[in-house]
Amino acid sequence: MTIATATTPAARPTTRGRAATVRRPPAVVALIAALLGFTVITIDVSAVNIALPGIQESLHGGMTGVQWVVDAYTLMFAGLMLSAGALADRAGARRAYAWGVGLFTLASLACALAPGIGALIAARLLQGGAAAVVMPASLSLIRQAYEDARHRARAIALWTVGGSVAMAAGPVLGGVLTETVGWRAVFFLNLPVGAAILLLLVRVAPSPRRPAPLDVPGQITAVLALAGLAFAVIEGGHAGWTSVPVLGSLVVSVAAAVGFWLAEKHHRAPMVPLEMLRGRIVSVSLAVGFAVNLAFYGLVFLLGLYLQQARGMSALTAGLVFVPLAAIITTTNLVSPRMAERIGRRPVIVIGQLVLALAMFVLLPLDAGTPLWLVIVLLVPTGLGGAFAVPALTAMLMDAVPGPRAGTASGLLNALRQTGGALAVALFGALVSDGPAASFSLSGMRVSLVVAGALLCATALLAGLLLPRGPVGAGRAVPRAPENRRRLPS
């Protein structure tokens, strides 16, 4: 961009090839670095799900303990991502990304060396906080590297492929490592990947910075609201929904949510400008992202327990069940952007949610005696649905906000997505934990699937009614919702 701008008109024909040569590698390197980071932080969600029985046996944690191993990560991921998105805008995407990757790598080492369940949960809190910085900063790197809307949409699709494949392949990797080396290897694997990302960032151009004060009141109230809600859901299934700790945490969550709204309304530099939420594209994207992650993360969590506790499979065998799912997700992620270009993003987003809802309902007949080949076949709609919707959803949101707000918008979307995943683990874990022995409840799994499917149907209807029509393309899809640009401060 700099070379092309500085070149005189007369000189452009002779330097065009050189400018393209200079500009292209940084964009590709930024995409690879962003893809690796998104992949590794996502693997630490799904791979750990398969490792949970091994962690429970090794560190002597009950169902509540292993739920917190997952939710400690996703809660900090969601709660801090709101400020982390603003941090990516203020400090610059490359710098924020380097900070997040470095901290994530150190936290992964602490997880791998954890001597007990409490230490592991503490390390997972730190790891989730670092992942919160990595996620929006990685998407900001892509947003800044690819200015053309069509090229950016395809780059975002590749970025999404990394996360989706990691989510589906994570159980396979987690099963292989847990069975052959031990669950600690799941965390040790992050160390060389983190080092590789930091080396790649050396070749990425510095990102622009937008100085502004941090929104401390908003951050504190956001974390309290999410943590209070998750604690109530997790503990409600064990201590009772009317117990004092559960009711108290619900009160804290509601009060913190009100405090968050007031803080954002009056702060001169809020981490989530309330004007951003008034645009239809932004608000609907958040609702859809929440529902898709609740269903997908929740299903991966349920299946990991179902395969090992209800069917008695080893971690390795249970992980291998997810191999076809990973392949379907990879293929569908690559097809989704092309379909969005041909028929528009709205149909792709709606169809993806409906297919994912169908996936929830077709899994209802599962029991301990269901043939394994049938289980694998019934997982096909799961791979198709979420992978079809998410690339188009992310690209639509990125096109609906100005560049300086890309990190904030990315943080907001992924905060809602991770909140959906965290609440799915909390709620579904409580539903499938049957009695004092915490044995796996098939009826609880079916209730969880119905809840996820119904929510997806509702958000599919919302997307169909409110998202703009039209195919993807510069100057065509975005102008149909101009309110998203006019109302957003840059």
Give the pLDDT confidence score for residue 365 in this predicted structure.
Answer: 92
Number of Cβ atoms within 10 Å of the Cβ of 148: 10
3-state SS class at 318: helix
Give the pLDDT confidence score for residue 48 in this predicted structure.
Answer: 86
pLDDT tens digits, one per residue of 6-51: 333 334 444 444 444 444 446 788 888 888 998 888 888 778 878 8
pTM of the full predicted structure?
0.72
Q: Rounded CA gap, 373 and 142, in Å?
A: 39
Residues in Cβ contact with 150 at an 8 Å cutoff, skipping those fewer than 6 apart: 341, 472, 473, 474
Residues in Cβ contact with 281 at an 8 Å cutoff, skipping those fewer than 6 apart: 396, 397, 400, 467, 468, 481, 484
CATH 3.90.1150.10 fits 23-203+271-486, yes or no: no
> Which of 143, 157, 150 lies closest to 332, judged by CA?
157
Sign of CA dihedral 23, 25, 28, 34: negative
pLDDT tens digits, one per residue of 407-429: 677 767 877 887 888 788 778 88
Alpha carbon distances (Å) from 318 to 172, 182, 209:
8, 15, 45
Q: Rounded CA gap, 10 and 14, in Å?
A: 8
User: On the CB side of 300, how many CA atoms lie within 13 Å of its CA?
Assistant: 38
User: How large is the average pLDDT for residues 188-215?
Assistant: 82
Q: Pick from 304-318, 337-351, 437-451, 452-466 the range whose average pLDDT is largest.
A: 452-466
- Residue 404: pLDDT band by 50, 70, 90 thresholds? low
H or E element in which residue 18 lies: helix 12-59
277: which DSSP letter?
G
User: On the CB side of 436, how many CA atoms lie within 13 Å of its CA?
Assistant: 0
- Residue 341: pLDDT band by 50, 70, 90 thresholds? confident
Give the pLDDT confidence score for residue 86 in this predicted structure.
Answer: 67
Give the pLDDT confidence score for residue 470 in this predicted structure.
Answer: 59
Structure tokens at 447: 């209730």
Residue type at 343 in one-letter notation: I
Residues in Cβ contact with 279 at an 8 Å cutoff, skipping those fewer than 6 apart: 400, 481, 483, 484, 487, 488
Q: Rounded CA gap, 155 and 265, in Å?
A: 34
Give the pLDDT confidence score for residue 91 in this predicted structure.
Answer: 76
Give the pLDDT confidence score for residue 485 in this predicted structure.
Answer: 39
Let me know: does 31 contact 155? Beta carbons within 8 Å.
Answer: yes
Structure tokens at 154: 């395809």
Structure tokens at 131: 């992942």
More confident residue, 208 or 473: 208
Q: Rounded CA gap, 102 and 191, in Å?
A: 10
For residue 110, pLDDT over 90 is answered with yes
Let me know: does 153 contact 396? Beta carbons within 8 Å.
Answer: no
- Residue 435: pLDDT band by 50, 70, 90 thresholds? low
Give the pLDDT confidence score for residue 237 in this predicted structure.
Answer: 65
> Angle, nearest 10°, between helix axes 190-201 and 12-59?
160
More confident residue, 169 or 73: 73
Q: Rounded CA gap, 341 and 336, in Å?
A: 9
Query: For the chain, what is the mean pLDDT?
Result: 80
- Residue 458: pLDDT band by 50, 70, 90 thresholds? very high
Structure tokens at 469: 């029509």
Q: Pick from 76-90, 127-141, 344-358, 461-475 the range whose average pLDDT is largest.
A: 344-358
Residues in Cβ contact with 69 at an 8 Å cutoff, skipping those fewer than 6 apart: 48, 52, 55, 61, 117, 120, 121, 124
What are residue 147's phi and psi, to 5 degrees? -85, -30
Q: Which of 72-76, 121-125, 440-444, 459-463 has the lowest mean pLDDT?
A: 72-76
